[in-house]
């Protein structure tokens, strides 16, 4: 999978590129402006995922994001920033962004976010999910009874093994249920799933 990281801060960009290139099946490149994104995708074709810094040269607010999406420069396009407002993030999602990555996110969480978006899902950090109430009640209703039981275990901080023992399931089955829960709720980890469940009154 080809990933393009576009950020004018050399240290951050190069660090992310180096870290993500250590993951199997990822080919990660870095550029420093939106003009470079255009040049790179014109030369090599669309990337599987483009991560755009909101404030780098050539972005002009969300114009760069919209251009990348409308012209198919990336199969998926995400926004990254250290200091944007909730309204900017919401506007980016409305424009078709695959997610928002805060620059304060730990490297391992960035890796998870990238993997999540490459799967075709939308990524938002847990605090933003909670603040914007992005996930409607209907997504919880899509869960089966067993998936809800597993989700309650996640909310209680239990491991997959503990949930499996409690529900008389195999650990592998619990793992499959957890993946399905993530997909239904549009989240990338246990913390996000638990926050949504609590916000929607499941626990």
Residue 44, domain extent: 2-123
Residue 188 maps to a domain: yes
Domain annotation covers residue 131: no
d(CA 118, CA 69): 15
Confidence band (pLDDT; 50, 70, 90) for 30?
A: very high
Domain count for the chain, please give it: 2
Question: Residue 131 — very low, low, confident or very high, per pLDDT cuts 50/70/90?
Answer: low
Q: Are residues 18 and 98 in the same domain?
A: yes
Residues 6+ apart with CB under 8 A from 171: 160, 161, 164
SS3 80: strand
Percent of the chain residues past pLDDT 90, beyond the cut: 50
130 in any annotated domain: no
**Domain boundary residue, one of 123, 154, 173:** 123
Query: 142 versus 118: which is more confidently predicted?
Result: 118
Answer whether residue 128 is part of any domain: no
Structure tokens at 197: 């469940």
Mean confidence (pLDDT) of the chain: 87
Where residue 178 sits, what CATH number does that domain have? 1.10.10.10
In this structure, are 6 and 81 located in the same domain?
yes
- 26 or 195: which carries more pLDDT confidence? 26
* Segment 115-132 mean pLDDT: 74
What is the per-residue pLDDT for 130? 52
Kindly state whether residues 173 and 98 are assigned to the same domain. no
One domain, residues 66 and 141: no
15 within some domain: yes
Per-residue pLDDT, 190:
82
Is residue 140 scored above 80 in pLDDT?
Answer: no
Q: 100-118: per-residue pLDDT in tens?
A: 999 888 888 888 889 889 9
Q: Are 73 and 92 in contact (CB under 8 A)?
A: no
Task: Categorize the per-residue pLDDT at 201 as very low, low, confident or very high, splitting at 50, 70 and 90.
Answer: low
Q: What's the average model confidence in pLDDT over 148-152?
A: 90
Are residues 118 and 87 part of one domain? yes
141 in the same domain as 119 = no
Distance CA(22)–CA(18), nearest Å, equals 7
> 149 and 59, same structural domain?
no
In contact, 185 and 196? CB cutoff 8 Å: yes
| Phi and psi at residue 91, to the nearest 5° | -65, -40
CATH number at residue 72: 3.40.50.2300
pLDDT band at 52 (very low <50, low <70, confident <90, very high): very high
One domain, residues 28 and 62: yes
Mean pLDDT of 80-89: 85
Residues 141-169: what's their mean pLDDT? 88
Q: What mean pLDDT is predicted for residues 148-154?
A: 89
């Amino acid at each position: 999978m080809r990933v393009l990281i576009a950020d004018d801060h050399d240290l951050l960009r190069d660090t992310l590129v180096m870290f993500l290139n250590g993951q199997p099946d990822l080919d990660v490149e870095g550029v420093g402006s939106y003009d470079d994104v255009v040049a790179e995708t014109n030369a090599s074709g669309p990337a599987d995922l483009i991560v755009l810094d909101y404030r780098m040269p050539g972005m002009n607010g969300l114009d760069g994001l919209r251009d990348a999406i409308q012209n198919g420069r990336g199969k998926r396009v995400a926004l990254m920033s250290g200091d944007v407002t909730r309204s900017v993030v919401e506007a980016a999602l409305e424009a078709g962004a695959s997610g928002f990555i805060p620059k304060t996110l730990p490297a391992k969480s960035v890796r998870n976010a990238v993997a999540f978006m490459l799967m075709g899902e939308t990524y938002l950090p847990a605090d933003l999910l909670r603040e914007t109430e992005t996930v409607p009640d209907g997504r919880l209703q899509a869960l089966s009874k067993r998936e809800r039981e597993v989700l309650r275990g996640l909310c209680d901080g239990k491991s997959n093994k503990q949930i499996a023992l409690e529900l008389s399931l195999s650990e592998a089955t619990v793992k499959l249920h957890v993946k399905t829960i993530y997909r239904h709720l549009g989240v990338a980890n246990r913390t996000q799933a638990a926050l949504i469940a609590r916000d929607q009154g499941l626990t």
